[in-house]
Amino acid sequence: MVDNGVSDSLFKMPTIKFTKLFINGQFVDSISGKTFETIDPRTGEVIVKISEGTKEDIDAAVAVAREAFDTGPWPRMTGVERAKIMVKWAELIEENGEELAALDTIEAGLLYQFTKFEIPAAADMLRYYAGAADKIHGKVLKSSGQFHAYTLMEPIGVVGHIIPWNVPLMMFFTKVAPSIAAGCTMVLKPAEQTPLSALFVAHLAKLAGVPDGVLNVVPGFGPTAGAAISSHMEIEKVSFTGSVETGREVMHAAASSNLKTVSLELGGKSPLIIFDDADLDKAADLAFFGMFFNKGEICAAGSRVYVQEGIYDELEKKLVEKAKACVVGDPFDPKTNQGPQADKNQFDKILSYIEHGKKEGATLLTGGKSIGTKGYFIEPTIFSHVKEEMRITQDEIFGPVMTLMKFKTIEEGIKRANNTRYGLAAGIVTKNIDTANTMSRSIRAGIVWINCYSILESDIPFGGYKMSGFGGKDLGLNALHKYLQLKSVVTPIYNSPWH
C-alpha cells in the first residue's frame, strides 16, 4: 500500500534552534565559515544550513576537551556528582522529547511514533550509566608479602565519537552515556545527514551542568572532520559506527597517528532461521519486523531469512501479503508503517542492489520500485530463489530488501547462517529448546535472539564478530570498560618481616 504524500496538517515544522558547532559550551561558527545543507528525506528539500566543521574546528574542539580532561572538574568529580548531572540531563531530554523526536523524523525519516519511543529510551540509557558512575573501582591484588598491590580504573582521556545517521539520538547516547560516566571528555561528529538532534542535546547537556569542554559536537564530513578525529594526536580513543570501508580508514588513521585505541561497530548481514515447528503467524511477524523496521536501515536487520522447507511456501505467502499491506508514506502520519530512506545516496544504493538481484537471477516476489516523484521512498522488497553467492545475499544493503531462502536440516541452517563475512546478530524461531541451544552456540554472531528480534536494551551488550567490528561492545557495563584503562599500583611494605 502506498501513500507517500507529506501532509502539512499532520505536523508543523519546529523552529530549528541550533545549527552551529558546539565547542567549549558555546555555539560557534566554523573557522572557515563554511556551511552545508541538511535535507528532509520526505521531500528532498533543504531543512536548514549547518556550520561545517573541518580539521581546524576539530583541533579547536580537541584542545578544549584536552584542557577539560587535564585540569577540569569532570574526571575529578566523584561518581555520585557526575551521576546527578547525568540524571538532570535525562530529565531535560524527556521534557524536550517532542521536539527531539521531530528532529530525527525530519532528518532521518524515522517514524515519529518510533522517535517518540526513543526519547525515554535515551533518557533511561543516561540513567543506566549514571548508576554505574560511582561503581568504577579496581581491586586489591594478592601480591607477595613484601608488596601491597592494587589496580585503578581510570578514564581513558579524550574520546572521539563518530556516529551514523540511521537512529541519531540513540547512537549519540550509545557512545556518549558510558564515556561521560567514565569521566572522559569528548568530541563527537554526528553524521552530516543528521546533526540537529546532536546539537540540541548538547545544549541540554550544558543546561544540566555538564562542564564546558567535556562534550563538544562538530558536524562535518567524514573525509575532513571524521578523518581529523581518527588521526588526532591528542585523542586517546575513537569509537566509530558505520561501514566496513570507513572503519578500515579509521583504523589506518589511528595506527598512523598515535596508536589510539579503536572500537568499531560495522554493521552486518544477519540471518533469521525459522524452523518447521515455528508458529507461522509469529514467525511472519518477527521476520517482517526484523527486516523492515526503520525501512531496513538497521545494522542488525534480519535481511537473510532462512525457512525450513516444510513451512516455506506458506510463510513466503504471509510475508508477501505483509509487504503489500505496508503503508509507505509520511513518517509523521500514525498510519504509516515505513518512511523514506535517509538520503539520496542511500536511496540510489538500495535501488541499485534491487537491480543487481534481478540481473543475478533472483525472483522478485514483491516491491522493488521507488515511490513518488519527491523524497526517497522505496517499496518493501522481497526476493526468493536467492543463491548464497549473490550480492544481495552477501552485501549489507541497509534498506528494505529481504532475501528469502529454504533449508532442510539444522546442520545446513548453521552452515548457511555462518556463510557471511559479518557476524553482528542472528535470530532463531523454534519451539524446540534443543534446536535453540544448538543454533545459538553454533552461530558466530555477537547477539542471538530466540523467538524475538532486535531487542536492544541498555544492559544487553551489543557488538559483532568477524567484520562486524571489535574493540568492545556497545551497551551494557562492557561499554563502560571501553572508556576506562587499568593501572596497577605497587608499593613496598617496609615493616614486612620479609623486607
Give tens-digit pLDDT for 397-423: 999 999 999 999 999 999 999 999 999
| Residue where the block lists cell 568492545 | 472
Q: Please state, in angstroms and rounded to a whole number, the distance separating the CA atoms of residues 91 and 466.
A: 38
Q: How far apart are CA 81 and CA 391, in angstroms?
A: 51
Nearest to 234 by CA among 212, 216, 208: 216
Higher per-residue confidence, 144 vs 424? 424
Does the active-site annotation cover 265? yes
Tell me whether domains 7-266+468-486 and 271-450 share a fold.
no
**Would you give the DSSP letter of residue 223?**
I
Q: What span, in angstroms and rounded, lies between the C-alpha atoms of 344 and 338?
A: 16
- How many percent of the chain have pLDDT more than 90? 93
DSSP string, 306-317: EEETTTHHHHHH
Average pLDDT, the chain: 95
Q: CATH number for 7-266+468-486: choose from 3.90.870.10, 3.40.605.10, 3.20.20.10, 1.20.1260.10.
A: 3.40.605.10
pLDDT at residue 497 tops 90 = no
Q: In which band, very low, low, confident or very high, does the pLDDT at 9 lie, cut at 50, 70 and 90?
A: very low
- Between CA 202 and CA 98 the distance in angstroms is 16
Kindly state the cell numbers that stand for 122: 535515551
- Predicted pLDDT of residue 403: 98
- Could you tell me the sign of the dihedral formed by the alpha carbons of 25, 28, 34, 37, in that order? positive
At 159, is the secondary structure helix, strand, or coil? strand
The predicted structure's pLDDT at residue 494 = 76
Would you state the pLDDT for residue 144?
78
Predicted local distance difference test score (pLDDT) of residue 5: 54
Tell me what pLDDT residue 6 has.
54
Contact criterion met (CB below 8 Å) for 452 and 300: no
What is the C-alpha R_g of the chain? 24
Strands, sheet with 469-470, edge to edge from the N-terminal-most edge strand: 26-28, 21-23, 215-217, 185-189, 158-162, 237-241, 261-265, 469-470
Look up residue 147 and give its three cell numbers: 608488596
Interval 322-331: pLDDT, tens: 999 999 999 9
Residue 298, classed as helix, strand or coil, is coil
Q: What does the pLDDT read at residue 4? A: 55
Q: Is the pLDDT of residue 447 over 80?
A: yes
Per the document, the length of the chain is: 499
Report pTM: 0.94
Find the mean pLDDT for residues 302-310: 97
Select which of 265, 297, 316, 379 is catalytic.
Answer: 265
Rounded to whole angstroms, how far apart are CA atoms 270 and 303? 6
CATH number of the 271-450 domain: 3.40.309.10
Amino acid at 318: K
Q: Are strands 158-162 and 237-241 parallel, antiparallel or unpaired?
A: parallel
- pLDDT tens digits, residue range 336-390? 999 999 999 999 999 999 999 999 999 999 999 999 999 999 999 999 999 999 9
Domain residue spans of the chain: 7-266+468-486, 271-450
Please give the full DSSP string across 111-156, using - where no structure is assigned. Answer: -HHHHHHHHHHHHHHHHHHHTTTT-----EE---TTEEEEEEEEE-
Per-residue pLDDT tens for 111-150?
A: 999 999 999 999 999 999 999 999 999 999 988 778 999 9
Cell of 390: 549473490
Residues 254-283 have pLDDT tens digits of 999 999 999 999 989 999 999 999 999 999
Proportion of the chain in helix, strand, coil states, percent, rounded to 5: 40, 25, 40
